[in-house]
Structure formats: structure tokens, C-alpha cells
Structure 1
Amino acid sequence: MSTRVRWLGHSCLLFESDGRHVLVDPFLTGNPKAADSADTVPADLILISHGHGDHIGDAVAIAKRTGAPVVANYEIGEWLKEPGQGLTDVHGMQHGGGRLFEGIARVKLTVAFHGSVLPDGTYGGNPCGFLITFPDGTKVYDAADTALFSDMRLIGEEGIDLAILPIGDYYTMGPDDALRAVTMIAPKSVLPIHFNTFDAIAQDGKAWADRVRRETQAEPVELEPGQWFDIPRRPG
């Protein structure tokens, strides 16, 4: 079975590869678009891009229920180990660093331009995106919450099968900058996230997908929250 991704609404993503699950930014409780719950979503590995409540979400509760290790930046990693959160299997990494989680995926932290403060007001360090390489070789770049930046072109040199980009504007890239990001990354497919959850980030996802088809070589992925997509591999 190929690696596949399920959009759970907002920026929450569930990847399945070789029977293992990688859960990203698990904001489910309080998410009006959530397509799963913290009580049922599977996880063998949890990734947190930054400290905002709409991304760290239910990570602590899910990690305690499933026993999944958690990957975040160093500052969030230390916060997760404090008594108030009480996690122990935490990997507080730094940008540019990666780690192989045997049988699940290799995860590398990428730069992201955004803010990061934890729900209790604690400084959450620098936000990040993720370059995820699955056991079958599928490469996914989840930009998470970010502005456009020119080094996306370097990330694209990795040979990205699926790019995941915010298009909501206001807090992140909007549709125009996200389209420029597609051009720089040159992925085989692209999935938009972080839009239509709240009024401030309302966007026409279909209109953006049409522009991707017309103006780039990538194939847009149009999902409703809860739907799956089998990630096609690039040739070679």
C-alpha cells in the first residue's frame, strides 16, 4: 500500500504508511472542522510545528493515550516534559536536524516564518515545518504555518512528492504566495491547509486548485476534512 494522508481539518494531518501512523498538529478539540477526535485518532508518532493552540492542540492527551513519541522544537520539547504536561518520550529537535524513527519515518525540521507561544504564555521557540520521508521513499514537505521564503526552492531540490501549504492568508501565506511556493518547490502534488476553519482565513480552495493546474506543473489535491489521498511518487 502506498503512503497516504488524511486531512483532519485546519492543519491536522494523519499519514499512514506500512501500517504506521504519523499525526501532525493535532488540533481536534475545539476545531469546528475536525474529522476525528482526540479519543480515537491513531498515532505512532506525533509532530508539533509550533506552540499555538490550533497546532499543539490535543498532542499531550493523544501522546498519553497512544504512547507515541512527540517531535517538536527544543523549547516545546522541554515544555512537554514539565510536570504540567508530563510527557517523557519527547524529541526536542532543532531546525535542519533530523531523526529516523525506525519503521515509521525520518523527520527533518525545516525553517518556518511565524510566531510561537504556548497555551500558557510560555515562549515556544522558533516554529518549524517538516520534511518527512516514509519507508517506501515517499517525501512530504509540510510547510505548516509560514510566510513565503526563498529557501523553499532548496527544500524542493529534495524531490517532493507532496507539498502541504497554508493558503488562509492573515496568519500565513495567502493563495498568491502559496502559488509562488508551489513554483519554487515543484512537487508532484500539493495539498492546501490552514483555511476555512475560521472567518479570518476563509478562502476558495477550488479556485486555488484551478490556479495550480493552470499555472504550475503540480497536481492539486482537493480534500474535504476526513478524506484520504494516496500520495503518488515522482518518477525516478
Structure 2
Amino acid sequence: MKITFFSHSTCMLEIHGKSILIDPFFSENPIFRNRKKNFLKFFKKIDYILLTHAHYDHVCDVELFSHKFHNVLVISNYEISNFFGKKGIKTYGINYGSFISFPFGKLKYTWAAHSSVFNDGTYGGNPGGFLFHTDEGNLYISGDTSVMYEMNLIPIFGKLKLSILPIGGKYTMDIEEAIMASDFLKSEKILGVHYDTFEDIRIDREEAKKKFYEKGKELILLEQEKTIHI
């Protein structure tokens, strides 16, 4: 499994030859706008776009990518899927429930403690995360959330190779709460997201890594466009 981090919560997963883009946030992202880069050049193909919730910093480029990659399938909760389906985009609506099989493996939509609304005020359904069970390992993407006791359920379904957790605080978990979440998840390797994009979610990266290390865990903080294999 290959994971490329772009910034904020935007990642690309490559599993069984399928390219899965998570929460695309480029055109309104200050990191990419200031660098004046054509972010579409990064992508040769996208098979799926997964959306955790409706906030603009997670969905603002769905239409742009769907126009470039006409066969892309957007997977999200029922309300977000309906929102984009009405725009002529191929969608697959899910909700909290069972695992669903896709060519890359099994996928479950998981609970998140957050909010979800589009910029125009349209209701974005319940926010969530995604649990992947694949032949290449199990991965949990929490989405924007605070720490929740429900996270204890995730490892019951199977051991995780990696958890992707927000660590910026204010709108989501901070470092200390993400460590608590990793304990609930029984996860020793964490990819941190949702930090440093804006002034009010800036962190001390070295201090964050140290705090995870002191708890016997590895916090991975990738630079933009960098990749890890798990």
C-alpha cells in the first residue's frame, strides 16, 4: 500500500493498482495557492474519491477532479453522495454500517465527532472516517474528529498497520488526544494530518513526534507530495 500526502487531510492511496484520493483540497488551499502550482499535474489517474465530510477544506475540488477523470467514483455518506450526484458525478452513497467490497478491498464508513455542511449551507450528513481492510493491510482514516471511546471498536475488526489522524487541535484532536486515540485503536504507527495549513492549527512538529515516541509510538509527518509504503 502506497500513501502520498499532499497537505491538510489530502492523501492518495494506491491499493491493488487502484488510485484513491482522500478529501481533495488544493484550489482553495493556501499552501498550494501560494506556490502557484498546477496541482492536477500530480495525477495520472484517479479511480475513487473518498470524502469524510462536507467542509470546503475536504470537498472543494471534487468537481474539478471528476471533470478530468470521467470514470472516477465518489464514495461518501448518503447526503454528500446525493449532493454531487445531482451535478452529474458518479457517486456511491454509504453510511455507518457493514463493510462493503470494492476492487481494492473492504471499506467501512466509521463514526466521527465533528460537523458537516457545504459552503452554501446544504446539510452534509453525518461526518465520518473510513476503515480499509485489504490484502495489503488494514488502514483507518478517522476524518476530522475529537477522540471518541467508539475508536475502541476499530481494532476488534482487525489489527491496523497505520492510522491517519488529525493532530492540529481546535477543530479536531490535538497531539495528546491523538495519542489517546492511538491507544484506543491499538495503533503504533500514525500518519498525522490536519495541521499547519492555517495559523490556528499550527504545531511544533518535533515536540509532537517526541510525545508519540515517549508513548512507544511513531508519528509520521510527511512533507507535501512525499510518499510512504506500508
- Output the TM-score relative to the length of structure 2: 0.91
Paired residues of 1:4 and 1:15 also in contact (CA < 8 A): yes
Quote the residue 2:46 is aligned against. 43
Paired residues of 2:25 and 2:61 also in contact (CA < 8 A): yes
Percent of paired sites with the same residue:
32
Quote the residue 2:178 is aligned against. 178
**Aligned partners of 1:194, 1:98: CA distance in 2, in Å?**
26
Paired residues of 1:14 and 1:24 also in contact (CA < 8 A): yes
**Aligned partners of 2:14, 2:186: CA distance in 1, in Å?**
23
Alpha-carbon distance change, 29 to 97 in structure 1, aligned in 2, over 3 angstroms: farther
**Aligned partners of 1:181, 1:38: CA distance in 2, in Å?**
34
**Runs of 5+ in structure 2 lacking a partner?**
none
Quote the residue 2:67 is aligned against. 64
Paired residues of 2:189 and 2:219 also in contact (CA < 8 A): yes
Give, as a single letter, the amino acid of the residue that structure 1 aligns with 2:78.
Y
Q: CA deviation at 1:219?
A: 2.3
**Aligned partners of 1:150, 1:51: CA distance in 2, in Å?**
23
1:151 aligns with 2:150: yes
Q: Which has the higher helix share?
A: 2
Quote the residue 2:15 is aligned against. 17
Q: Deviations over 1:129-165 (max 9, x none)?
A: 000123x331110001001101111112321110010
Q: Which runs of 4+ in 1 moved over 4 A?
A: none
1:69-218 matches, within 5 Å, as: 69-82=73-86, 85-87=87-89, 89-102=90-103, 104-134=104-134, 136-157=135-156, 158-216=158-216, 218=217
Q: CA deviation at 1:123?
A: 0.5
Paired residues of 1:77 and 1:92 also in contact (CA < 8 A): yes
**Runs of 5+ in structure 1 lacking a partner?**
232-236
| Aligned partner of residue 113 in structure 1, secondary structure | coil
Q: CA deviation at 1:40?
A: 4.2
- Output the TM-score relative to the length of structure 1: 0.89
| Aligned partner of residue 118 in structure 1, secondary structure | coil
**Aligned partners of 2:78, 2:95: CA distance in 1, in Å?**
6
Q: Would you say how many aligned residue pairs link Structure 1 and Structure 2?
A: 223
**Aligned partners of 2:152, 2:182: CA distance in 1, in Å?**
9
